[in-house]
Amino acid sequence: MRYIKKKSSRIWIYLALAVYVVFCALPFYWTTMQSFKTVRQAFARKPLFFFKPTMQNYQELWIKSTPENFGFLGMILISAFVLFVILMVFAKRFRMPTAFTRSIGMALLLFTLIMLPRVVDTAEFYDYFLNSVIVTAGVVVISMSIGSVAGYALARYSGIEGVVIIIIALAFRALPRMAFALPYYSIGQATGLHDTYLIVILVLTAANQPFTIWMMRAFFAEIPKEIEESATIDGLGPLAAFVRVVVPTAWPGIISTGLFSLLIAYHEFLIVRVLTQSKWTLPVAIVQFTGGEAPGHMTLAAAAAVSATIPIIIIIIIFQRHLVKGLTGGAVKG
C-alpha cells in the first residue's frame, strides 16, 4: 500500500513493530544471558543484567577435560578448518567449478568434526551434535536428489497423474507425525533397524518429500522450457539435460528448498526420540535438560539452547533471502 508520510503515524508504526520485535527476541536475549551466568547468579532474586560472564556452562556442556597436549593432530585440525573457511568464502575465485570447491570444503569440515574427539576430550553433547550433522546431511542429500528430479517432472508434465501425486503429497504433509513414529517403532524393532541412522534418515526423508516436491515444482515451473529444449537439440538425453542445463539455472530454488529440508531434519524431535536410543540428535538431548530437579540444569539448558541456535543464526544471516523466498514460494512448510 501507499507509503505513510505523516510523522506522528510513522512513530506509531515503528513503536508497534518494536514491541513485536521485542516479543520475538526477548526469550533469545534472556536465555543467552542465563547461559553466561553461574547457577547462583541465574537464580538471583533480582535478575542480573550486568555480571562477569562465565564460560563454565559451555565448557561443561562440550568438553570433559581441557586438553593438555594439543599436538600435531590439533594443528592439522585447525589448518583443515581454516582451509574450509577459505574454500567456502573464496569458492568463486578458484579455477575450479564452485560446487567442486565447496564440496571439498564440506569434506574438510566433516573431517574436522569427526577427528575432533581424538584431540579434545569432548563431552556427550558433542556426540549429539555429530548425530545431528549426520542425520541432517543424510536427509538433505537424499531428499534433494530424489525430490528435485520429481519436482522437475511434476513441473513439466501436464497430465492428471501429476496433480494426483501433488494432492497425495499434500495429504501426507498434513498427517500427524505420531501416525508414523509409533508404527515405525514397531517396524524398527521387527526389522532390527531400531536405533540406526538409516531408519531415522529414511523416515525423515519420506516425511520431507511432500514439501520438497511442492517447492521444487513451483521453482522449476518458473524456468522456461526453451532451456532444456535447446539442450536436447544439442544431443543430450533428458536426464543429462536436467543435470547439466536445468539444475544450474535453478540453484536459488534448490538452495531455498534444501534449507527447509535442512531445518526440518535439524528440528525433528519426535521421530528421533521414538526411533533411537543411543543416536540422539540435539533436540532430543536438550529436552533432557528441561524439568530436571538439579538447579545446575537451568544454566546448562541455556548453554545447550544457545549452542543449538548458533547454526540457525548463521543460516539466517547468510540465507535470509532464500528463506523468505522458500516460505512464500512453496508455501507448504512441513
Partner 1 sequence: MKRKLFFKFSAPSNLTMITLMLIPLGVAVFLSLHFVTFVNINTPKFVGLSNYAAILTDPQFWQAFRFSMVILIIAVPIQIVLGFCMALLLDQIRSIFRGVILALILLPFVVVPVVGTLMFKQLFEVGGLVAYWYRAVFNQPFLFTPTSVRVLIIIHLIWYVTPYPLVVFFAGLQGLPESQLEAAEVDGASRWQQLVHIVIPFLRPLLLMTSMILIMDMYRMFDSIMVMTEQNPMYQAENLMMYSYRVGMMVQRLGRANATAILTVLGVMVVLIPFLRITYKNQMRNE
Task: Choose between 116 and 270: whose C-beta lies nearer to partner 1.
Answer: 270
Q: Can residue 247 be called a binding residue for partner 1 (CB under 8 A)? A: no
Binding partner 1 (rule: CB under 8 A), the pick from 75, 89, 178, 240 is 178
Q: Can residue 302 be called a binding residue for partner 1 (CB under 8 A)? A: yes
Would you mind telling me the total number of residues written for the chain in this entry? 334
Q: Would you state the cell numbers that stand for residue 207, as one nine-digit string?
A: 516425511
Positions 265 through 294 that interact with partner 1 (CB under 8 A): 266-267, 269-270, 273-274, 282-283, 286-287, 289-291
Number of amino acids touching partner 1 (CB under 8 A): 109
Binding partner 1 (rule: CB under 8 A), the pick from 89, 314, 316, 318 is 316
How far is residue 77 from each of residues 74, 101, 119, 137, 253, measured CA to CA in Å?
Answer: 5, 19, 9, 21, 34
Task: Choose between 65 and 191: whose C-beta lies nearer to partner 1.
Answer: 191
Three-state secondary structure along 73-88? HHHHHHHHHHHHHHHH
Task: Choose between 3 and 72: whose C-beta lies nearer to partner 1.
Answer: 3
Calculate the CA dihedral of residues 145, 149, 155, 160 and round it to 10 degrees: -120
Query: 3-class DSSP state for residue 63?
Result: strand
Residue 3 is given by DSSP the state P
Positions 136 through 155 that interact with partner 1 (CB under 8 A): 146-147, 149-154
Positions 3 through 42 that interact with partner 1 (CB under 8 A): 3-4, 10, 13-14, 16-17, 20-21, 23-28, 30-31, 34, 42
Task: Choose between 77 and 139: whose C-beta lies nearer to partner 1.
Answer: 139
CB of 130 to partner 1, least distance (A): 16
Helices assigned H by DSSP within 36-69: 39-42, 56-62
CB of 331 to partner 1, least distance (A): 6
Q: Can residue 297 be called a binding residue for partner 1 (CB under 8 A)? A: no
Q: Which of the stretches 97-105, 123-131, 249-257, 307-315 binds partner 1 when contact is defined by CB under 8 A?
A: 307-315
Q: Which of the stretches 64-72, 114-122, 235-243, 246-254 binds partner 1 when contact is defined by CB under 8 A?
A: 235-243
Q: Can residue 209 be called a binding residue for partner 1 (CB under 8 A)? A: yes
Q: Would you state the cell numbers that stand for residue 283, as one nine-digit string?
A: 533436540
Q: How far apart are CA 205 and CA 236, in angstroms?
A: 30
Q: How far apart are CA 59 and CA 130, in angstroms?
A: 17
List of residues 6+ apart from 184 with CB closer than 8 A = 199, 203, 271, 274, 275
